[in-house]
């Protein structure tokens, strides 16, 4: 119980820090905000791009058998008929005005009576659709209705044939994409964890059905390794949830879950999707999306193993995992120690990787020149205001792993001190070695 209260406080602190330091804030706030939408500020957008770049490098650039794609958000409406979203995302619902129970009309035994309280005082059936609707062209009617994609993977299936032909890839191979997806969530909750506009990073891997479970295990291991090695997740911070109920076409599914302040939540799914998606798009489009294996003359419908990450949830997980308060020495009068707030973010995704600070404003010229050199290689920031200690703490709050201080000896000995965020220890480094020193620390 006590821990729950602490976790609620933690969430509030994270939201407050994000707002105050320009990491994440409510969308359209001057108009009162809009439920389920969040903006990434100057530091948040840097972090988001860093995570995107890390995933893209990990999943696409370093692999010969995964290709990239950047498809449109609005697709032909039939795409969503084929995927099942139009059917499954759209239900006629009625509410009982008396006991407030909600029913799907098609699941009610008697559509005029509430099964719970037997009241007949029900609302008119109303359509609940989790897909966002828009219109293509200037005429707003049913014929011109289109939908914002509810997931980024469907356009991957739709473009499967084009990508394969263009790249001459043979099975097995994957197609990856990062992009926005939209869902009219009934109840957006928990900061950016469940929002109505969000970014997904998805990879669909196409293989022979006989090999599909091997690939499933492979991608599962790859993704776990990524979280441990690239994002620094410890064993007690994440867990694997194994789905017991599977879709009829799937052979396996796991979720990688993370310990958020509000409880365990899904961060990524590694799902076996069978031949379902390509089969459906073949049926609905009339185009045969099966694969001809020229080595043995066999034609197969590829089986799909998917890795699907929520980017916004990744950012939130990094913030939750990294938020730390600890006692630290202070030079303030009458106080022996003070609370230090820091974000322990992995250096490779920190919004600012290196802050360059003159020990005094008198040293601004040398420090600024050093900053301009460093800025080309790392996400960097220069700050000369207030005391050096205050600037360290400012950088701690946004998770800057290294502060480079240009001091009164620097001009003479051509060396600076590098201060570590987590240990607060300093090391003196020659300026000519600084870039390689930091590269060794930060990693890519």
Partner RNA sequence: GCGAGUGUAGCUCAGUUGGUAGAGCAUCACGUUGCCAACGUGAUUGUCGUCGGUUCGAUUCCGAUCACUCGCUCCA
In angstroms, give the least distance from the CB of 401 to RNA.
Answer: 13
Nearer to RNA, 285 or 360 (CB): 360
Of the pair 4, 221, the CB lying nearest RNA is at 4
- Least CB distance to RNA at residue 127 (A): 12
Burial (Cβ within 10 Å: 0-12, 13-18, ≥19) of residue 77: middle
User: 412, 422, 420: which is closest to 437 by C-alpha?
Assistant: 420
Give just the sign of the alpha carbon dihedral 363, 366, 370, 372: positive
As a whole number of angstroms, the distance between CA 250 and CA 231 comes to 29
Question: To which H or E segment does residue 101 belong?
Answer: none
Q: Are 326 and 339 in contact (CB under 8 A)?
A: yes
Furthest C-alpha separation in the chain? 88
Closest approach, Cβ 297 to RNA, in A, equals 36
Coil/strand/helix, residue 125 = coil
In the complex, what is the shortest distance from the CB of residue 140 to RNA, in angstroms, rounded to a whole number? Answer: 21
Nearer to RNA, 143 or 326 (CB): 326
CB of 425 to RNA, least distance (A): 6
Q: CB of residue 415 vs RNA: minimum separation in angstroms?
A: 9
Cβ 32 to RNA shortest distance, Å: 3
Q: Nearest 5°: phi and psi at 136? A: -100, 120
Nearer to RNA, 102 or 225 (CB): 102
| CB-count exposure of residue 37 (10 Å: 0-12, 13-18, 19+) | middle
Choice between 71 and 190, CB closer to RNA: 190
Nearer to RNA, 164 or 183 (CB): 183
Please check whether residue 249 is in contact with residue 286, taking contact to mean a CB–CB distance below 8 angstroms. Answer: no
The CA dihedral of 81, 82, 84, 85, to the nearest 10 degrees, is -50
The answer to whether 43 and 343 are in contact (CB under 8 A) is: no
Cβ 104 to RNA shortest distance, Å: 9
- Phi, psi (rounded to 5 degrees) for 139: -95, 120
Q: Which residues of 124-153 are buried (b: 16+ CB within 10 A; e: fewer)?
A: ebeeeebbbeeeeeeeeeeeeebbbbbbbb
Q: Cβ closer to RNA: 200 or 303?
A: 200
CB closer to RNA, 65 vs 101: 101
Q: List interacting residues with RNA (CB under 7 A).
A: 8, 11-12, 15-16, 19-20, 26, 32-36, 84-85, 88-89, 95, 100, 102, 130, 150-151, 183, 185-191, 194, 247, 262, 328-333, 338-341, 359-362, 385-390, 392-394, 397, 405, 407-408, 417, 419, 424-426
């Amino acid at each position: 119980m006590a821990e729950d209260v602490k976790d609620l406080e933690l969430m509030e602190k994270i939201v407050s820090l994000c707002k105050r330091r320009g990491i994440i804030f409510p969308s359209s706030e001057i108009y009162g905000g809009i439920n389920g939408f969040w903006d990434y500020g100057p530091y948040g957008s840097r972090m988001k791009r860093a995570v995107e770049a890390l995933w893209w490098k990990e999943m696409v650039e370093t692999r010969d058998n995964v290709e990239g794609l950047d498809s449109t958000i609005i697709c032909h409406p039939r795409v969503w008929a084929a995927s099942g979203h139009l059917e499954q995302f759209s239900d006629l619902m009625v509410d009982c005005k008396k006991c407030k129970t909600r029913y799907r009309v098609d699941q009610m035994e008697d559509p005029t009576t509430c099964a719970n309280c037997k009241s007949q005082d029900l609302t008119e059936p109303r359509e609940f659709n989790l897909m966002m609707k828009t219109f293509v062209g200037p005429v707003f009617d049913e014929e011109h209705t289109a939908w914002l994609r509810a997931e980024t993977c469907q356009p991957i299936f739709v473009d499967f044939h084009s990508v394969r032909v263009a790249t001459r890839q043979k099975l097995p191979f994957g197609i990856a994409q990062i992009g926005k997806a939209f869902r009219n969530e009934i109840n957006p909750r928990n900061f950016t964890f469940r929002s109505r506009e969000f970014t997904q990073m998805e990879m669909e891997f196409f293989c022979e059905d006989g090999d599909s479970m091997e690939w499933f295990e492979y991608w599962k291991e790859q993704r776990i390794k990524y979280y441990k090695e690239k994002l620094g997740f410890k064993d007690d911070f994440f867990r694997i949830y194994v789905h017991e109920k599977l879709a009829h076409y799937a052979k396996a599914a796991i979720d990688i879950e993370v310990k958020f302040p509000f409880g365990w939540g899904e961060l990524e799914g590694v799902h076996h999707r069978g031949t379902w998606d390509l089969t459906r798009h073949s049926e609905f489009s009339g185009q045969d999306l099966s694969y001809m294996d020229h080595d043995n003359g066999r034609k197969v419908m590829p089986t799909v193993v998917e890795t699907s990450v929520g980017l916004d949830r990744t950012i939130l997980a990094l913030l939750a995992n990294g938020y730390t308060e600890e006692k630290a020495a202070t030079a303030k009068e009458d106080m022996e120690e003070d609370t230090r707030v820091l974000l322990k973010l992995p250096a490779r995704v920190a919004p600012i990787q290196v802050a360059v600070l003159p020990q005094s404003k008198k040293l601004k010229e040398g420090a600024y020149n050093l900053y301009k050199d460093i800025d080309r290689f790392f996400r960097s920031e220069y700050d000369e205001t207030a005391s050096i200690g205050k600037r360290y703490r400012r950088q701690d709050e946004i998770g800057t792993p290294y502060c480079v201080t240009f001091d009164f000896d620097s001009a003479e000995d051509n060396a600076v001190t590098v201060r570590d965020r987590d240990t607060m220890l300093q090391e003196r480094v020659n300026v000519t070695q600084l870039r390689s020193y930091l590269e060794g620390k930060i990693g890519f």
